[in-house]
Amino acid sequence: MPLLELKDVRTEIRLKRSTVHALDGVSLTVEAGQTLGVVGESGCGKTMTAMSIMQLLPNGGSVTGGEILLDGRNLLELSEAEMAKVRGNDIGMIFQDPMTSLNPTMTIGRQISESVRIHRHAGKTEAHERAVEVLSLVGMPSPERRALDYPHQLSGGMRQRAMIAMALANEPKLLIADEPTTALDVTVQKQILELIDGLKERLGMAVILVTHDLGVIAGSADKIAVMYAGRVVENTNTEALYVNPRHPYTEALFDSLPERGAEADTKLYSIPGLPPDLTNPPTGCRFAARCRYARDTCREQDPQLDGETSEHRYACFFPVGAVEKSAKEIPVTLSEATSSEELPQTSIGAPLLTVQNLVKEYPITAGSILRRKVGAVSAVSDVSFTIYEGETLGLVGESGCGKTTIGKLIVGLEDATSGQIDYADTDLAKDKGARDRYRKQIQLMFQDSYAAMNPRMRVRSVLREPLDIQHVGDKASRDKRINELFDQVGLPRTALERYPHEFSGGQRQRVGLARALTLAPKLIVADEPVSALDVSIQSQVLNLMKELQAEFNLSYLFISHDLSVVRYLSDRIGVMYLGKLVEIGPAESVYANPVHHYTKGLLDTIPVADPAVERAKEDKGIEGELPSAIDPPSGCRFRTRCPAAQSLCAEQEPPLVPFGTNGHLAACHFPLRTAEGAPAPAVTLPNPTIPPATVPAEDTKADADAGA
């Protein structure tokens, strides 16, 4: 008997004037010791499924039909008091953002012991002991001390560990993880996923892993349910799904992954349109409106979840892929289905903007009146690079590495502490007048397009604002320009009268791009422009950015933590670590032949949407967490986490030296490959007798304190 079985579950949320049919006949099973991955775009009912199981639905929500059986017991028939015993005891749950899920006024230890005391009626000391025990179980360094910390004293990864500890305190049979790593860095994401995987095996529990990232579940899920518009459209084991997806929606999700486009150098496939409005779901197949294979039958009749075998079920009349494909014989190239359209190429010209020895430090002050300077956060430290005309320079690194600060310095939202930003023969870092003069030519595209638009302005006014401020043309010509821009980003002109919140995320990012283009800039600094979007939508925005670049010969400084996105769009890539540029070079060269250990580690941590590759990964990636930027490590800043670090690394800062003739530079004493032409370092291999200087747990604690 499966541990958890959902039979035809229907969940509705009543709004003021309508009812959202959030789940419409969802059937799933989870066996003990298994991980079920649930994937789909946002708004497809993934979280609603989790919340229906927990019966923690939002206001107006209720499960109106079906059965949710946990160990044969129907959770829907339980009273609220009985359900409260199930939550936290039989089922544990972890959420996306650990900061908002933890109580900031209680220590971690007390929050964990609280649940032990409620469910096990344990005494105070006993519960505290249990809290420390689970904290060490989830790999929290020095758990006794950490149990006395408040949430803000911990880093993001540590907080998520604390959340997991809390969910596991009573040894639940089922752990529901709702996007547990979305708010975390790739390096930490890998650590957390491995932790969940290891705990599953040790405790023999079942896991439901809800995520939008096909790469994340490839390595950890045993079975996968693909959800679309409140229904399961495909349900099978992981290998079968990745090797041979049968539902066109699953196929489309794979095709939208940026790595597909980067490999083939073609335009990314993107799923047109949006998921249907669930207040009034369409008749027939719900995906028909966006499906590239849809026929009349699809629009009239509703396909049932079925398949040739009970192992692989899908709801489609005209499935893609093959009926019988075993994992062995397949040389599947999914990219054959992606568009064959070549990416428009831009010609790379003269240097446009040069950054030299750029430094940005934020002072830390003490005292409320005198504001003595007691230290400084070194956000950007001595960074130099050049952006050429028509080029995309990608900037990657973990959060806190200074990539966003560089973007802000270039667009002039922050003042540099020292260094130069040379643009058109003037130094923008010093000459404020020039900054105003060239403001039109350097624009910024924000990560959160919703936050970046005044919610009380119609989109027409949002787009007109830069023209108004810069006094460009008269009213008629401004209106003409706005219409033109809307056409260019592929939005209907009728939508100009709407407010920003009436657009979906992808559409809003198009508006954001249109606004950045309004003043016909030469350089656009794009700060994580697609990180808040679904893969299917992400590809639309990325394609659009590429097209517009070719059309207007734009340069992009593309800032992102997502290496596959950066690779798809960038000509050259710069890798940043703790305020330093550690490696920069042509995109292909950085990917294929990384020189710096950090770059290699970052590349290893990218989740790949291929279970075979993902499971075969031996490398741990990068361990530990980013040290504090208040008192960065001496010498090479990466040495505390570097597998090849030696005493030299602590003493001397490695200079950025060329590797090869293609402009590939890196800063490392013991690089992964030797610099051509340069004399080889005395020791090229890490000396095993000298242990690498890893961050002891106490250090990270101090950092977390200082950061808070």
Is residue 662 at the binding interface for another protein, with CB under 8 A as the rule? no
Q: Please pick, from the candidates 508, 515, 561, 637, the single residue that binds another protein as defined by CB under 8 A.
A: 515
β-bridge mates for residue 178, sequence order: 210
Q: Please pick, from the candidates 151, 156, 390, 466, the single residue that binds another protein as defined by CB under 8 A.
A: 466
Nearest to 231, CA basis, from 70, 10, 2, 59: 10
For residue 283, the minimal CB distance to another protein (Å) is 16
| Distant-in-sequence, close-in-space partners of 162: CB < 8 Å, separation ≥ 6 | 98, 102, 108, 111, 112, 135, 138, 140, 146, 151, 154
What is the rounded distance in angstroms from the CA atom of residue 334 to the CA atom of residue 251?
8
Q: Residue 243 phi/psi, 5° resolution?
A: -80, -40
Specify the stretch interacting with another protein by CB under 8 A; choose among 71-79, 117-125, 285-293, 306-314.
285-293
For residue 292, the minimal CB distance to another protein (Å) is 5
Total residues at the site for another protein (CB under 8 A)?
57
Is residue 456 at the binding interface for another protein, with CB under 8 A as the rule? yes
For residue 275, the minimal CB distance to another protein (Å) is 10
Relative to beta strand 206-210, strand 174-178 is parallel
Specify the stretch interacting with another protein by CB under 8 A; choose among 44-52, 266-274, 356-364, 529-537.
266-274
Relative to beta strand 351-366, strand 418-423 is antiparallel
162, 108 Cβ separation under 8 angstroms:
yes
For residue 423, the minimal CB distance to another protein (Å) is 15
Residue 692 in tokens? 């690498």
Give whichever of 252 and 587 is closer to another protein, judged by the CB atom: 252
Residue 513 in tokens? 């791009």
Residue with tokens 């006993």: 126
For residue 381, the minimal CB distance to another protein (Å) is 23
β-bridge mates for residue 557, sequence order: 393, 525
Relative to beta strand 665-666, strand 580-586 is antiparallel
Give whichever of 22 and 166 is closer to another protein, judged by the CB atom: 22
Q: Please pick, from the candidates 171, 308, 497, 651, the single residue that binds another protein as defined by CB under 8 A.
A: 497
Q: Please pick, from the candidates 7, 325, 430, 498, the single residue that binds another protein as defined by CB under 8 A.
A: 498
Relative to beta strand 231-237, strand 313-314 is antiparallel
Considering only CA atoms, give the Rg of the chain: 26
What x-and-dash track marks residues 320-339 binding another protein by CB under 8 A? -----------------x-x
Is residue 439 at the binding interface for another protein, with CB under 8 A as the rule? yes
What is the rounded distance in angstroms from the CA atom of residue 207 to the CA atom of residue 221?
9
Is residue 473 at the binding interface for another protein, with CB under 8 A as the rule? no
Burial group, residue 78, by CB count within 10 angstroms (0-12, 13-18, 19+): middle
What x-and-dash track marks residues 336-365 binding another protein by CB under 8 A? -x-xxx------------------------
Give whichever of 271 and 377 is closer to another protein, judged by the CB atom: 271
What is the rounded distance in angstroms from the CA atom of residue 19 to the CA atom of residue 75?
23
For residue 296, the minimal CB distance to another protein (Å) is 8
Give whichever of 83 and 294 is closer to another protein, judged by the CB atom: 294
Q: Please pick, from the candidates 146, 173, 212, 267, the single residue that binds another protein as defined by CB under 8 A.
A: 267
What is the rounded distance in angstroms from the CA atom of residue 410 to the CA atom of residue 15?
45
What is the rounded distance in angstroms from the CA atom of residue 448 to the CA atom of residue 466?
19
What is the binding site for another protein (CB under 8 A)? 15-17, 267, 269-270, 272-274, 277, 289, 292-296, 337, 339-341, 411-413, 436, 439-440, 443-444, 446, 448, 451-458, 465-466, 469-470, 490-492, 494-495, 497-499, 501-504, 507, 515, 519
